[in-house]
């Protein structure tokens, strides 16, 4: 992934503005430390900060067509780029080996509908000088980040950027660009292009569980995300989701190495580099000393045979990073800040090892009703609608966390559970099968799909267990809990010290909109305002509110739910 900045129809001397645009783009350099580029076309400016993963030797952006009439800035990965290149009706001259260049050539044939053909995670801005036309789009779920801004003094100018911080200085209105949408300046409209059948909350799916199809779809989702010319690894918390992704990645990486050996060729570069394949896949975990996640991750790593890196941090180190974490996250949502801080610290350690891309397990809990509060869903229909809401809003929470916590250090995170094809399979299943009861724990069907007994029932030739039963059937731990139960406790204690009773009592005066309900939430809002004092910056923030109407605790921690095996003895104050 990378960082992009585009200014469409700048009102003024665009060449005089160019140095300022470069300074705005520089605010995104943590996302793309490998190279920077800037193209001015007419009164439009396009800047790019590159993290090189595919097409390392030739994929610098902004990309331009041979005739210089098209300019393209992309943040993301297009996994089906080779198939798309072969599908082009008119032979095209490619200038790079980038997986993103095909977007320009598709545009010449399909126009705005190009975005419907892309399989990947992406945000892009494409400019057609022959029509003075700009198209901007974001991937179906919002794995990548994209913001749009406006300056009321120049209403005809539109800004786009990967992060809020590149717009806060110039724009007095900022919004998150909606996932699954495309903007076309020719019509001035932003329209939804991603409309799967399961997106309708009024339609409750009825398909029975096909365990072989569910399993095969996830394996394929992991496999396509191994597209890389640089060393990669897996983030391994020791929970079900990351452990499954790690297990599949180990198998698929080994399979690629065997196929290469059988063909008499060196291990393919795209499988992570010859050295990495010959050795072992790298896995990474983080937690407080003695945390549940560290112990579980070590067990999984030993079982899978990964080259495992286990890192610890102290509550004080986490507290010291909060200001930087919130600056990079661009949110003050309590759940997101709690979970992002350990991920932010881990990402710095991962990048130091030379790994530039990691696989991660985000999305499974939203798809399968994995959070412990789903135990209290009143009905299957209610559970389905809640999973649908959570998937649609992932761009405000877990996708935002995974993207910005890692990209703060120029590390790319890929999330197989949010694969477009896998979502089609998993979200079309009868939600009755996702309900929790005495015999079916949370995320039962995805656990069952990878259980050794199910592999035998499905007639798989390889019935080797993907994971130990103790991991496959481990109770859900939210990341902010699993890194160590005292982590969240320490944050509450910190907020008690940092926020006085008088300040908290007067909170609605300071923030009449989106007023924080706890001292912890107050403290994060305060830190956010230190980095982003402009009123426009808070407009894009979305906070997750627990389902108290289901009888759940109003604290977003999984440990706050009484179903948790290490639940709080009393509701948190």
- Catalytically active residues, by annotation: 2
State the Cα–Cα distance between residues 502 and 466, nearest whole angstrom: 54
State the Cα–Cα distance between residues 357 and 272, nearest whole angstrom: 9
Q: What are phi and psi of 5, to 5 degrees?
A: -140, 130
For residue 344, what are its two tokens? 């932010």
Q: Is 360 annotated as a binding residue?
A: yes
Burial class (CB in 10 A: 0-12, 13-18, 19+), 397: buried
Q: What share of the chain is helix, strand, coil (3-state, %, to 5)?
A: 45, 15, 40
Q: In this structure, what is the dihedral angle of CA atoms 500, 506, 509, 511, given to the nearest 10 degrees?
A: 40
Q: Is 362 helix (H, G, I), strand (E, B) or coil?
A: coil
Other CB atoms within 10 A of residue 469 CB? 11
Q: Is 470 annotated as a binding residue?
A: no
Q: Is 281 annotated as a binding residue?
A: no
State the Cα–Cα distance between residues 477 and 243, nearest whole angstrom: 13
* In contact, 99 and 81? CB cutoff 8 Å: yes
* In contact, 344 and 394? CB cutoff 8 Å: no
* In contact, 545 and 518? CB cutoff 8 Å: no
Could you tell me how many residues make up the chain? Answer: 573
Q: Is 249 helix (H, G, I), strand (E, B) or coil?
A: helix
* In contact, 325 and 496? CB cutoff 8 Å: no
Q: What are phi and psi of 218, to 5 degrees?
A: -70, -40
Q: Is 508 helix (H, G, I), strand (E, B) or coil?
A: helix
DSSP 34-97: TEEEEEEETTEEEEEEE--SSSTTT--SSEE-TTS-EEEEEEEEETTHHHHHHH-SS-----S-
For residue 439, what are its two tokens? 């015999």
State the Cα–Cα distance between residues 34 and 2, nearest whole angstrom: 9
Of 169, 524, 168, 474, nearest to 321 by C-alpha is: 524
Mind spelling out the 3-state secondary structure of 134-172? EEEEECCCCCCCCEEEEECCEEEEEEEECCHHHCCCCCC
DSSP 373-413: GGGG-SSHHHHHHHHHHHHHTGGGTHHHHHHHHHHTTT-EE
Of 145, 137, 148, 132, nearest to 71 by C-alpha is: 132
Other CB atoms within 10 A of residue 487 CB? 24
Report the Cα–Cα distance between both ends of the chain, in Å, rounded: 40
Q: Is 437 helix (H, G, I), strand (E, B) or coil?
A: coil
Q: Annotated binding site for ATP: which residue ranges?
A: 235, 286, 360-361
Q: Annotated binding site for L-glutamine: which residue ranges?
A: 99
């Amino acid at each position: 992934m990378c960082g992009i900045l585009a200014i469409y129809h700048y009102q003024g001397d665009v060449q005089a503005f160019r140095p300022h645009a470069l300074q705005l783009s520089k605010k995104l350099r943590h996302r793309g430390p490998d190279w920077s580029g800037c193209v001015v076309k007419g009164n439009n400016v396009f800047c790019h900060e590159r993290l090189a993963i595919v097409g390392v030797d030739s994929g610098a952006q902004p990309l331009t067509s041979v005739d210089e009439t098209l300019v393209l800035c992309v943040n993301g990965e297009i996994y089906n780029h080779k198939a798309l290149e072969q599908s082009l009706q008119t032979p095209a001259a490619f200038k790079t080996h980038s997986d993103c260049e095909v977007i320009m050539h598709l545009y010449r044939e399909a126009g705005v509908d190009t975005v419907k053909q892309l399989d990947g995670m992406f945000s892009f801005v494409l400019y057609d000088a022959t029509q003075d036309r700009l198209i901007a789009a974001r991937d179906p779920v919002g794995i990548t980040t994209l913001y749009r801004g406006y300056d009321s003094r120049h209403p005809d100018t539109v800004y786009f950027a990967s992060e809020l911080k590149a717009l806060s200085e110039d724009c007095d209105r900022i919004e998150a660009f909606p996932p699954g949408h495309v903007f076309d300046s020719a019509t001035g409209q932003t329209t939804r292009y991603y409309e799967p059948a399961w997106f309708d909350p009024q339609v409750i799916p009825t398909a029975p569980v096909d365990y072989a199809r569910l399993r095969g779809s996830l394996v394929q989702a992991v496999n396509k995300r191994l597209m890389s010319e640089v060393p990669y690894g897996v983030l391994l918390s020791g929970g079900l989701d990351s452990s499954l992704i790690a297990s599949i990645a180990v198998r698929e990486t080994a399979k690629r190495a065997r196929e290469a050996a059988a063909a008499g060729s060196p291990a393919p570069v795209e499988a992570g580099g010859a050295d990495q394949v010959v050795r072992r896949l790298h896995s990474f975990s983080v937690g407080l000393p003695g945390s549940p996640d560290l112990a579980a991750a070590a067990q999984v790593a030993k079982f899978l045979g990964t080259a495992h890196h286990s890192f610890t941090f102290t509550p004080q180190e986490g507290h010291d990073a909060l200001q930087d974490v919130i600056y990079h996250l661009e949110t003050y949502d309590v759940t997101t800040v709690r979970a992002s801080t350990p991920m932010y610290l881990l990402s710095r350690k991962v990048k130091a090892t030379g790994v530039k891309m990691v696989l991660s397990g985000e999305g499974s809990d939203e798809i399968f009703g994995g959070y412990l509060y789903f135990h209290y869903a009143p009905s299957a229909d209610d559970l389905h609608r809640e999973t649908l809401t959570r998937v649609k809003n992932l761009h405000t929470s877990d996708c935002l966390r995974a993207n910005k916590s890692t990209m703060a250090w120029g590390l790319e995170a890929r999330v197989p559970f949010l694969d477009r094809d896998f979502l089609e399979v998993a979200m079309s299943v009868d939600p009755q099968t996702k309900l929790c009861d005495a015999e079916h724990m949370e995320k039962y069907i995805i656990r069952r799909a990878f259980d050794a007994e199910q592999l035998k029932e499905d007639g798989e030739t390889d019935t080797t267990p993907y994971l130990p039963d103790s991991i496959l059937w481990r109770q859900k731990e939210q990341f902010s809990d699993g890194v160590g139960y005292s982590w969240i406790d320490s944050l509450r204690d910190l907020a008690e010290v940092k926020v006085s009773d008088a300040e908290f009592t007067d909170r609605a005066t300071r923030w009449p909109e989106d007023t924080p309900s706890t001292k912890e939430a107050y403290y994060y809002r305060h830190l956010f305002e230190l980095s982003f004092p402009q009123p426009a910056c808070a407009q894009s923030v979305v906070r997750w509110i627990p389902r108290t109407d289901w009888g759940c605790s109003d604290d977003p921690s999984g440990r706050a739910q009484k179903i948790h095996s290490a639940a709080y003895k009393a509701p948190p104050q």
